[in-house]
């Protein structure tokens, strides 16, 4: 090997290890984890962020190499730290999907389902609409840049080789996962509560006029009410989704500093 390339192999191993944490975070995070995002693009972005993290906090490989017990422990810690940060953002993002499922089932649009590009699972049309809205809001507030900054800053508090999150941090992540239901229902509350009132009115009409075909009248009325209510409550829904995304970024920041 030429003398100019003598240290190239060791440097490439360092860059490869530096890619693990951003790669795991992007795999679990929204938008970056979509199946439509090419794997090659994720690798390039992970390498760029990993090199930035290595420049701020240099680290060294175990004496016995990456394939040793210490090397496997280091890699496992990197994967766990990156996945925890990305999953925290994903939890905040999923509040929009939960709100969409709630509104869709209450409005009768539960049968209109399609494949969600984020989870590759079927979801209602309303959930798809709110998911697209959440994606635009995530990009508008610079969520992708904030996540990249959080990953780079995490190398200070959680250096390579000591990236195991504390049990209190993992407990906080689990407790934050329980907040997704509260956030999703809070986002769906303006429209969902009004749709429940519409369903109660339809039930009263069916009770007072048994000869009326409630299915022929109730479904169009509920769909029309859902569309109008979504248009009216769009600003409040957008604020709720943005608050949920920011809450997820705050939780990822707390994990990055080891809290």
User: Mean per-residue pLDDT for 54-79?
Assistant: 79
pLDDT band, residue 153 (cuts 50/70/90): confident
Distance CA 230, CA 188 (A): 10
Beta-strand (E) ranges in 16-67? none
Q: Which residue has the higher pLDDT, 12 or 110?
A: 12
User: Mean per-residue pLDDT for 181-209?
Assistant: 83
Distance CA 171, CA 248 (A): 15
Residue 161's SS3 state is: coil
Would you give the DSSP letter of residue 38? -
Residues forming a β-bridge with 123: 114
Main-chain phi, psi angles of 115, to 5 degrees: -80, 125
Residue 115's SS3 state is: strand
**Domain residue ranges in the chain:** 3-256
**In what helix (H) or strand (E) does residue 27 lie, and over which residues does it extend?**
helix 8-28
pLDDT band, residue 117 (cuts 50/70/90): low
Buried b / exposed e along 27-44 (16+ C-beta atoms within 10 A): bbbbbbbeeeeeeeebee
Given a cut of 60, whether residue 125 has pLDDT beyond it is yes
Structure tokens at 183: 């956030």
Distance CA 185, CA 171 (A): 23
Question: Where do the H-state alpha helices sit in 108-166?
Answer: 125-140, 143-157
Given a cut of 50, whether residue 207 has pLDDT beyond it is yes
Q: Determine the pLDDT at residue 114.
A: 62
For residue range 128-144, what is the model confidence (pLDDT) as tens digits? Answer: 888 888 989 998 998 88
Share of residues in the chain with pLDDT > 70 (%): 86
Distance CA 33, CA 119 (A): 9
Q: Which of 42-51, 57-66, 80-89, 194-203 has the lowest mean pLDDT?
A: 57-66
Q: pTM surpassing 0.85?
A: no
**143-157 and 125-140 helices cross at what angle (nearest 10)?**
60
């Amino acid at each position: 090997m030429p003398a100019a390339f003598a240290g190239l192999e060791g440097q490439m191993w360092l860059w490869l290890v530096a890619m693990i944490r951003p790669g795991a975070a992007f795999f679990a995070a929204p938008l970056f984890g979509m199946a439509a995002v090419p794997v090659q693009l994720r690798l390039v972005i992970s390498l760029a962020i990993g090199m930035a993290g290595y420049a701020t906090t240099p680290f060294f490989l175990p004496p016995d190499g990456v394939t040793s017990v210490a090397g496997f422990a280091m890699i496992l810690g990197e994967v766990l730290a990156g996945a925890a940060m990305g999953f925290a953002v994903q939890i905040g993002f999923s509040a929009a999907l939960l709100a969409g499922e709630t509104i869709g089932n209450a409005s009768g649009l539960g049968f209109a389902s399609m494949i969600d590009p984020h989870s590759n699972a079927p979801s209602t049309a309303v959930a798809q609409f709110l998911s697209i809205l959440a994606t635009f809001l995530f990009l508008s507030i610079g969520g992708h840049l904030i996540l990249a900054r959080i990953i780079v800053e995490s190398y200070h508090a959680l250096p390579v080789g000591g990236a195991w999150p504390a049990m209190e941090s993992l407990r906080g992540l689990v407790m934050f996962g329980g907040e997704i239901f509260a956030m999703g229902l809070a986002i769906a509350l303006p429209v969902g509560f009004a749709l429940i009132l519409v369903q109660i009115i339809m039930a009263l009409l069916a009770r007072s006029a048994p000869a009326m075909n409630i299915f022929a009248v109730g479904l169009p009325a509920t769909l029309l009410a859902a569309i109008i209510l979504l248009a009216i409550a769009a600003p409040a829904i957008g604020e709720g989704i943005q608050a949920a995304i920011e809450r997820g970024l705050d939780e990822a920041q707390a994990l990055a500093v080891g809290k």
